[in-house]
Structure 1
Amino acid sequence: MRVTTGDQAGAQAVSAAEGDWGQPGRPEKPAPDGGPARARNLGLVLALISAFAFGGSGVAAKPLISAGLEPLQVTWLRVAGAALVMLPVTWRHRRLLLRRPALLLGFGLLAVAGVQACYFAALSRIPVGVALLIEYLAPALVLGWVRFVQRKPVTRAAAVGVVLAVGGLACVVEVWSGLSFDPVGLVLALGAACCQVGYFVLSDHGSEGEDAADPLGVIAYGLLIGAVLLTVVARPWEMDWAVLGGSTDMAGTRVPAVLLLGWIVLIATVLAYLTGILSVRRLSPQVAGVVACLEAVIATVLAWVLLDEHLTAPQTVGGAVVLAGAFIAQSATPKGDGAEGADGSVAGGSSVDAPTPDRTSYR
C-alpha cells in the first residue's frame, strides 16, 4: 500500500522514452514474457498475490497494536525489517544509487513513507472507512492523469471498471458509517492517494528503456529510504520492545508476536512489493490500481476468518462489485483507433497505455 496494485487495464507505457509504440502503423511494444495475453495473465496473478500479501498486513498488525505498539511503530518495524532483509540486494545494486537517485528517492518517499505516513495521520482525524475510500481514489486519479494531463485516450470499459471498483469499495468499507470528517484529515487521505499515483508513475519510469532500473534494486532502496524517513515519525526509541518477546491475542488464540512481525516483514512487505512491481510491468496503471482495490476486500475476508470480524451484507455485495470492476478493467484491452470502436475508446486516436507501474501500495 500496489496498491494495487494494484492492477491494470490497458495499453503501453507513457513516456518520451516509449516513442511510437502502439501508434497507428507502428508495431505493438513487445510483451515481457512473450505475448500480450500471457503477459497480462501473469501480471494479474502477480497482482493478486501482491494484493493478498498486502491485505494480510493489517490482520497481522492489529494484534501487535492491541498489545501496546503504536501504529506508526508497527509500520516502522515493517519497513525497517524489510529493508534489513533486502540489504544484500541493496549492495548488489549499489550502482543504481548513482544511476537513478531521483527514482529511488521518490520511490522511498512516496511509495513507502508517503503513503503510510499520510494514511496513518489521516486515521487520527477521520474514520478508517473514509480514509480508505479516499486513498483508493488513486486508480481514478491515474485514469484522470492519463486522459486529461497526458491527453491520451482510455477505454470506456476501463473507466467503468474503475467506477465500479471505487463504488464497491464504498460498500466494503461502509463509508456511510462516518460522514463527518475534518478538512485536514481529508487532505491527508487524499495525500496518500496522490502518493500512490506518484508510485504508479515512478514504477513505470523505472521500467522503461534499455537502462531500466532493476525492480529488486528499486524495492531495496525504496524500503531503506522509507525506513530512514519513517524513523523520524515513528520514534522507535520510544517503543516497548518487550511486546515483541511475548505473545498476542488473535481471536482467542495466543500467537507469538515475532511470528506476526515475520509475516508483516517477509510476506506483507518483501513479497508484496516484489510481486506488485513485477505485475505492473505487465499491466497498465489503471488495471493495477483497480486490482489494488482488492486489498481492502482481502483484508476484510482475512479479518473475518482470523479475527472473527464478520462481513455485513453491504460489504459482501461491495466485494463482488469490486471484483466485477477489476474483471471488466482487466478485460478491456484497447486496440485500433477511432472515436469509439469495438474496443470502447472514449476519445479519438489510438488508445495508448498509461504509465505501467507497480502497485502494491502500501499499507
Structure 2
Amino acid sequence: MLSNRVTFLLITAITPMLWGTTYVVTTELLPPGRPLLAAVIRALPAGLLLVAITRRWPSGSWWWRSLVLGTLNIGAFFALLFVGAYRLPGGVAATVGAIQPLLVAVLSTALLRERLSTRTVVAAIAGVFGVSLLVLRADARLDTLGVAAALGGAVVMAFGVVLSKRWASPAPLLATTGWQLVAGGVVLLPVAYLVEGPPPQSFTFANLAGYAYLTIIGSALAYALWFRGLRKLSPTDVTFLGLLSPVVATLLGWLVLDQRLTAAQVVGGLIVLTALLTAQLKKKTPRPPAVASRLAPSAPVAGRC
C-alpha cells in the first residue's frame, strides 16, 4: 500500500505532465505569435471560475499576499518565460529554467529552515544536465537578455513556491488557487495588450478548443493539484517534479509532431528521471532510544532508606 507521501507525489506529478502538453497545444491549436494572450486566457478565466465555484474572496492580509503570490507564480513568471522563449531557442530556455529545483532548495533552507542535503544539490545539478541533453541543440545561440529573463522566471517562481508554503492559507485550496490565478491574469493583461495589441477579432474552433484546454486543464486543474502538493509536501520535493515537463514535451513532440528522438535525448530523459527519484529519497528517521528510566534501576527517593 502506498504511503501518503508517495500518493501526494504521484498526484502532484500530474501537474508538470499537464504543463508538458502546453507546447503541442500552443503550436497546433492556438493562433501564432500570441503567447501572452494565451497566458492571460490560461490564468484569468480559470481563476474567476474557481472563485465562482468557491464563492470566496480573500480577506485581511490575503489580499496583498494573493497579489504577491499570483505575480510570482503566474504573472511575472509567464511574462519572463515569454521573453526567454522569444529571444532564446526553446532548449536553452528550458535548460536555464531547470535550475529552479536548486533555487527552491536554497530558498527553503533560508526561509523555511529546511536542511540542504548533498543529495539534493547533486540531484538538482544532474537534473539540469539531463534537461540540457533532452532539449538543447548544438547550434543553440545565447542571448544575454533572453538568458536573464529565463533565469528571472526560474527565480520568481522559486520564490513563489517557497512563499506559498510559508504563507499557509486558511481558505480552501480552490479558493486560494483562484485568487492567485486572478491576480496573475490581472497583472498580465496590460502587458499582453501593450506587447501584442488587442486580441484577434475572431477565433477558429481549434483556437477555442486549445484555449479551453489550457484554461480548464492546464490552469484550473493543474494549479489546484500543484498548490495541493505544496500544502502537503516539501517545496523542494514538489519543484523537482517540474523536471517532468520537458520530458513529457519531448515525448509528445516525438509521438504527435513526428519529431526525431535521439539517443542523447533518451539518455537525458533517463538522467532527469533518476535525478527526480533520487531527490525524493528520504533517510529513515532512527527510532528514539528507550527511555533510561525504563532500563535503569529506580533512583532512591529523598527521605527513604
Out of 115, 120, 124, the position equivalent to 1:158 is: 120
Out of 210, 216, 231, the position equivalent to 1:260 is: 210
In the alignment, is residue 223 of structure 1 matched against residue 181 of structure 2? yes
User: Which residue in 1 is equivalent to 2:152?
Assistant: 191
- TM-score of the superposition, structure 1-length normalised? 0.72
In the alignment, is residue 46 of structure 1 matched against residue 46 of structure 2? no
User: Which residue in 2 is equivalent to 1:340?
Assistant: none
Contact 1:59 1:302 (C-alpha < 8 Å) held by counterparts = yes
Out of 195, 198, 201, the position equivalent to 1:238 is: 198
* CA spacing shift, 1:85–1:177, aligned 2, 3 Å: farther
| SS of the residue 2:188 aligns to | helix
Which has the higher relative contact order, 1 or 2, with Cα contacts under 8 A spaced 6 or more apart? Answer: 1
* CA spacing shift, 1:149–1:50, aligned 2, 3 Å: closer
In the alignment, is residue 214 of structure 1 matched against residue 172 of structure 2? yes
Map 1:1-363 to 2 at 5 A. 38-65=3-30, 67-89=31-53, 92-94=55-57, 96-147=58-109, 152-174=114-136, 176-178=138-140, 180-207=141-168, 212-235=170-193, 238-242=198-202, 244-246=203-205, 256-333=206-283, 335=285
Structure 1: runs of 5 or more not aligned: 1-36, 247-255, 337-363
Cα deviation, residue 333, structure 1:
4.0
Residue deviations 1:228-278 (CA, integer Å, cap 9, x gap): 111111117622142x234xxxxxxxxx33222221111111111011111
| SS of the residue 1:308 aligns to | coil
Contact 1:78 1:264 (C-alpha < 8 Å) held by counterparts = yes
* CA spacing shift, 1:69–1:128, aligned 2, 3 Å: closer
Contact 2:243 2:272 (C-alpha < 8 Å) held by counterparts = yes
Cα deviation, residue 123, structure 1:
2.0
Distance 1:327 1:139 in 2: 13
| SS of the residue 1:98 aligns to | coil
* CA spacing shift, 1:286–1:68, aligned 2, 3 Å: closer
Percent same amino acid at aligned positions? 27
Distance 1:97 1:58 in 2: 36
* CA spacing shift, 1:307–1:89, aligned 2, 3 Å: same
Query: What count of residue pairs does the alignment treat as equivalent?
Result: 285
Contact 2:66 2:179 (C-alpha < 8 Å) held by counterparts = yes
Contact 1:69 1:239 (C-alpha < 8 Å) held by counterparts = no
1:93 aligned partner, one-letter code: R
2:45 aligned partner, one-letter code: G
Cα deviation, residue 151, structure 1:
6.4
Contact 1:157 1:329 (C-alpha < 8 Å) held by counterparts = yes
Cα deviation, residue 293, structure 1:
0.9
Contact 1:55 1:295 (C-alpha < 8 Å) held by counterparts = yes
Residue deviations 1:59-106 (CA, integer Å, cap 9, x gap): 1111244x445111222222223123223146x222x24341232011
Structure 2: runs of 5 or more not aligned: 287-305
Cα deviation, residue 319, structure 1:
0.8
Bigger Rg, which one: 2
Cα deviation, residue 160, structure 1:
2.5
Contact 1:147 1:153 (C-alpha < 8 Å) held by counterparts = yes
Distance 2:111 2:59 in 1: 30
Distance 2:29 2:39 in 1: 11
Higher helix share: 2
| SS of the residue 2:3 aligns to | helix
Distance 1:241 1:39 in 2: 49
Distance 2:237 2:120 in 1: 8
RMSD value, Cα: 2.4
Distance 2:224 2:258 in 1: 30
Contact 2:108 2:162 (C-alpha < 8 Å) held by counterparts = no
* CA spacing shift, 1:168–1:68, aligned 2, 3 Å: closer
* CA spacing shift, 1:46–1:170, aligned 2, 3 Å: same
* CA spacing shift, 1:150–1:237, aligned 2, 3 Å: closer
